[in-house]
A and B are shown apart, each in its own frame.
Chain A
């Protein structure tokens, strides 16, 4: 390989322009990728910067005479509603994730592992919610909650948000776990059976540990979708306020910088957790 390159190099010397072109062509994808990643971070950086704004009336423009301040970071719950709405979002996200992950995993196993009458319908039923615009799902849920479920005592609020979030999280869990179950080598389960593991032992000692990363991934996806959802939440929340709804509602009056603090902190926490998980995963692999 190198000999070929060398002999060609001695016979034919490309011009500097050509060489720069070749260098760029080789790295075009990587350069473009880095630029796109930076683009993804622009508003995050903005949010971070404006968490230090020592503003007087509203946190829209940088206060001309004020130097950066740490006061919003020292007292993130200082503005009314920020922490209350955050806690609500975390609670809703946790419950919705737990329920959606359990139900979705069961459905995924049924759809991948068995052939039965209604399997096709099951596949469609779990896929269609993903192809439904959020606004339609929100509108239909609002209709049924107001016109149907309120008669049995279910008022718009915390639990209607949880119910709605489970619906869309469920679809994503099913798709994620299904992919993981499908990609599993069937011989591993055969090997377990061959090694005296009955159906129950095969499931808990082999199948489940191997599918677990997919389930964990699905749970993380669920939580982030639930935590960040605004459109459906806005329809079914009544007077309950989640963090995204709090930000949206306070937009006209001016969003307190504490919201920036919370938003950026969530970002940092999430990134740290993911990196921590990877580091632990790497450390557990003996060299």
Chain B
């Protein structure tokens, strides 16, 4: 009998000369199916997408392209669609900030104040997922519409610039904030839950001021969760096109996602441009993630 379950006290050390060989192959055996799946259906497609992003069009034959190493697609992607990139990052950034502002009190209350209501609150956060994300986004469109209650109230008070919410960036940001909120709440909650409430009491005892305690004790202790939450919100928000499509206007609120989608499905021969846009977006996001993780560093993510 070799070690199927390694003695957890010494996961690294070989269990003994007789079992060492089997133990050496076992992790690879466990890893193999999942890793193969990701290799074939994640890594190879990305490589393929990259080669597509370097292809050139046959002149005069829209929709036909040949293998090439053509970086012009990237240049076009960056110049022609720069405003879309800007909007994607900006909208996602604002939405991430609002999601954080809404999530923190909720996560905090769940971790420290909710008591036996904690489980119910958790269900309330996850449950809306099951009413389709598209259905809920469309619901927001109707709620925020010009004849809907929100726009009417704001217009009566004359505080709404332009008089509309839908078809503006505000609706898009609101939609992004709403849709990715749970991705912010759950990691923050997970990290706050691990904080011993007595530590916070000790903070209150030593500083005797709620805000100072929060700033110097609670917030730093929840940073890993905040970090994970902002990434889990920002990344999908920056790549989203459904909110811009359903809540925004045809021109002034389109994000990179919308361009990629239409280049793929609506523009003949748009594949190389769409691929270049995809790679640029991914590179931008990975670079930001890298800088962000370096800056607020944690190794809990991986």
Contacts and interface: CB of A to CB of B under 8 A. Distances in A.
Interface of A: 25, 27-30, 32-33, 36-37, 39-44, 46-47, 50, 60-61, 103-104, 106-107, 109-111, 113-116, 118-119, 122-137, 139-144, 147-148, 163-164, 166-167, 170, 174, 184, 186, 189-190, 193, 198-200, 202-203, 207, 224, 227-228, 230-231, 234-235, 243-244, 247-248, 251, 255, 259-260, 263-264, 266-267, 269-271, 274-275, 278
Interface string B1-43: 1111111110110000000000110111011011101110111
A260 B43 CA distance: 38
A134 to B, nearest CB: 6
- Range of interface residues on B (Cβ < 8 Å): 35 or more
Contact of A109 (B30, B238, B257, B264): B30
B123 A274 contact: yes
Contacts of A113: 5-6, 8, 11, 27
B54 interface: no
A136 B282 contact: yes
Interface in B87-109: 102-103, 105-106, 108-109
Given A106-B30, A107-B34, A167-B38, A264 B134 contact: no
Given A43-B143, A103-B33, A170 B38 contact: yes
Contact of A33 (B28, B34, B106): B106
Contact of B42 (A42, A107, A167): A167
B296 interface: no
A25 B281 contact: no
B32 to A, nearest CB: 8
A230 B39 CA distance: 23
A228 B113 CA distance: 31
A261 to B, nearest CB: 11
B182 to A, nearest CB: 8
A142 B7 contact: no
Contact of B139 (A27, A47, A193): A47
Interface string B258-276: 0011001000000100110
Given A36-B106, A43-B143, A118-B31, 9 more contacts: A33-B110, A39-B102, A129-B42, A131-B286, A174-B34, A224-B129, A235-B264, A247-B135, A264-B131
Nearest to B123: A274
A110 B37 CA distance: 16
B118 to A, nearest CB: 11
Contact of B124 (A37, A247, A259, A266): A37
Nearest to A245: B134
Interface string B230-270: 01100110111110001000000000110011001000000
Contacts of A278: 119
Nearest to B258: A135
A233 B261 CA distance: 12
A61 B8 contact: no
Given A116-B24, A278-B119, A36 B103 contact: yes
A266 B127 CA distance: 9
Contacts of B6: 113-114
Contacts of B246: 251
B50 to A, nearest CB: 9
Interface string B39-56: 101111110110010000
A227 B134 CA distance: 12
Contact of A43 (B24, B139, B281): B139
Max count, chain A CB within 10 A of own CB: residue among B43, B48, B123, B279: B48
Given A46-B139, A251-B246, A136 B286 contact: no
A43 B140 contact: yes
B152 to A, nearest CB: 13
Contact of B30 (A36, A107, A128, A135): A107
A139 B105 contact: no
B290 to A, nearest CB: 10
B133 A139 contact: no
A30 B105 CA distance: 7
